[in-house]
């Protein structure tokens, strides 16, 4: 998802697109991988002195709820990244730096046969470890 798609989605859902909200979207569009609320507040503090975690969390929750951001949990903390909307894939996520690598293989192809009588409404497949840079390769 890019900023224009995200802004259009917010407007379609009846939400305003303030400068702060656009800056949050710009941060995630540039970010390579998952980022925390603390990462975001550190980025925004230069432009918005005194910005609160409450404001950050409220916007992160909104973006996650409407489908702009996707989330995962790393080391007991919620991390966010811009939602991938262009094609179906999954991710390898680095536990150290949060960078992601797309995985084209989908385990649901096999799982669906085992769950033939079930109505599957969605799925998420993530692999965690260290990227080559963090691994020191």
99: which 2 tokens?
């960078």
The count of structural domains within the chain is 2
State the residue range of the domain holding 108: 90-135
Task: State how beta strands 126-129 and 100-103 pair.
Answer: unpaired
CATH number for position 101: 3.30.1490.190
- If asked whether residues 64 and 10 sit together in one domain, one would say yes
CATH number for position 26: 1.10.10.10
- If asked whether residues 10 and 77 sit together in one domain, one would say yes
Q: 33-64: per-residue pLDDT in tens?
A: 899 999 999 999 989 999 999 999 999 999 99
Q: Which of 43, 60, 82 is the last residue of a domain?
A: 82
- pTM assigned to the model: 0.77
Q: 88-120: per-residue pLDDT in tens?
A: 778 898 888 888 888 888 888 788 888 888 988
Angle at 78 between CA 7 and CA 127, to 5 degrees: 100
Q: Which of 64, 82, 100 is the last residue of a domain?
A: 82
């Amino acid at each position: 998802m890019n900023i224009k798609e995200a802004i259009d989605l917010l407007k379609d859902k009846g939400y305003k697109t303030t400068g702060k909200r656009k800056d949050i979207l710009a941060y995630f569009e540039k970010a390579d991988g998952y980022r925390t609320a603390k990462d975001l507040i550190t980025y925004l503090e230069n432009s918005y002195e005194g910005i609160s975690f409450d404001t950050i969390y409220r916007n992160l929750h909104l973006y996650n709820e409407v489908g702009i951001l996707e989330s995962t949990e790393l080391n007991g903390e919620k991390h966010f990244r811009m939602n991938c909307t262009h094609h179906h894939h999954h991710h390898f996520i680095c536990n150290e730096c949060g960078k992601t690598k797309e995985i084209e293989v989908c385990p649901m192809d096999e799982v669906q046969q085992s769950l033939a009588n079930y109505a599957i409404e969605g799925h998420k497949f993530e692999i965690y470890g260290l990227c080559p840079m963090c691994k020191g390769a």
